[in-house]
Amino acid sequence: MEKYLSTIEEYLTPYKWNQYTVVVLPKAFPFGGMENPNLTFLSPSLIVGDKSEASVVIHEMIHSWSGNNMTCQNWECFWLNEGITTFIENKMVGKIFGKDQQTLHGLLGDNDLQKSISNFGATHTYTSLSPKINQQNPDDCFSVIPYEKGCQYLRLLESQIGEVKFQEFIRLIVSQNTLNSDQFRTLLKRFLLENNIQGVDLQWQQWIVDPGLPKNSLKIDQQFTKKYQNLADDLFQNKLRLQDFQALHSNEKCYVLDLLGNNQIDQNTLKNLEEEYQLFDSNNPEILHRMLIYGIECGYPSALGDKLSQFLSMNGRMKFINPVYRVLSEKQPDLGQRIFNLCKNSYHSIAVGQIQKMFQK
């Protein structure tokens, strides 16, 4: 963690909170982390044995600047906390783990963003970076959208302003006390004027106000994605050697599994993945929750028995259990309701509230 913190300080400013400590909470903790000053709360789901979830710790560290020093004024500009933090997180992953991991990190985030927009519906106000919450509980609109859509907007700005100058602007932003979206825009326009930076198209309406995802979103080198699409095709056809798959970083495995969904996955496919690659025995919830979702969608027995109930009883992090319950509510509602009734007393109330609504539709 010392290396992570030093790298963040180099990009931003010296750490101001004196010490940095983390505590791993019980499994019921519904988030990956929570950035309380001086004492970050972390989910036990991050401890998977290969340090592949280290980016969550980096994310919470960055909140010491964007979130705890500069804080969004209200939940309708929550992207200022999370989008800025995710943008810097992605940069730090590149500096610490290399450019390939940075690209993968962005791709996985984009996949999560697409799923969240699909879950709400592309025209829903909760897919905007300025959601109209009105009198609703802000927890109801919680998703990766302010994180990943906010991050992509900042990457769009950086691509026009330049990396060096944009770093100066980010340092300016995190030095503020509190901000809303309009104040962010005012600071940005003033920064561009004072630095004689011209020709920047803010695209404010498309990115900050409108719901859904603008067409000019994340662009990735096609050669990079083609490599992983080929791996996913080989995995689908049972041509990928076990040792080659095992040699992949956990983030690579997750991205390959996401691309696998472009194929028509059936029970025979999953039988091969279970017997040849032992994917239903993974101790990494990032991998296992993907496999369970594929299995529930096509009624694969291993995804509907003990492995499913054990996974949902041993995890309370909403990133993992909510998507599984969502597909259960659509494909196996009786089974999902039965498992939820057994597990709900061990979940956080926020998770319980969100899952209950899935079975009420």
Cα–Cα distance list, 288 to 104, 164, 283, 311, 347 (Å): 19, 40, 7, 8, 19
Catalytic site residue from 126, 147, 255, 347: 147
Q: Which residues pair with residue 178 across a beta bridge?
A: 71
Q: Kindly report the average pLDDT of the chain as a whole number.
A: 95
Question: Per mean pLDDT, which range of 123-132, 181-190, 202-211, 219-228 is the poorest?
Answer: 219-228
Q: What percentage of residues in the chain have a pLDDT greater than 90?
A: 91
Catalytic annotation present for 274: no
Average pLDDT value for residue range 323-348: 97
- What is the structure's pLDDT at 218? 64
At 215, the pLDDT band (50, 70, 90 cuts) reads confident
Average pLDDT value for residue range 284-312: 97
pLDDT in tens, 9-46: 999 999 999 999 999 999 999 999 999 999 999 999 99
Per-position b or e across 206-228, b if 16+ CB within 10 A of its CB: bbbebbbbeeebbeeeeeeeeeb
- What is the structure's pLDDT at 54? 86
Catalytic annotation present for 60: yes
Average pLDDT value for residue range 346-355: 95
Catalytic site residue from 35, 53, 60, 76: 60
* pLDDT of residue 297 exceeding 90: yes
- What is the structure's pLDDT at 29? 97
3-state secondary structure the chain: CHHHHHHHHHHCCCCCCCCCEEEECCCCCCCCEECCCCEEEECHHHCCCCCCCHHHHHHHHHCCCECCCEEECCHHHCHHHHHHHHHHHHHHHHHHHCHHHHHHHHHHHHHHHHHHHHHHCCCCHHHCCCCCCCCCCHHHHCCCHHHHHHHHHHHHHHHHHCHHHHHHHHHHHHCCCEECHHHHHHHHHHHHHHCCCCCCCCCHHHHHHCCCCCCCCCCCCHHHHHHHHHHHHHHHCCCCCHHHHHCCCHHHHHHHHHHHCCCCCCHHHHHHHHHHHCHHHCCCHHHHHHHHHHHHHHCCHHHCCHHHHHHHHHCCCHHHHHHHHHHHHHHCHHHHHHHHHHHHHHCCHHHHHHHHHHHHC
* 136 or 330, greater pLDDT: 330
Binding residues for Zn(2+): 59, 63, 82
- What is the structure's pLDDT at 295? 98
Reported pTM:
0.94
pLDDT in tens, 67-102: 999 999 999 999 999 999 999 999 999 999 999 999
- What is the structure's pLDDT at 170? 98
At 258, the pLDDT band (50, 70, 90 cuts) reads very high
Asked whether the beta carbons of 83 and 184 are under 8 A apart, the reply is no
- What is the structure's pLDDT at 135? 85
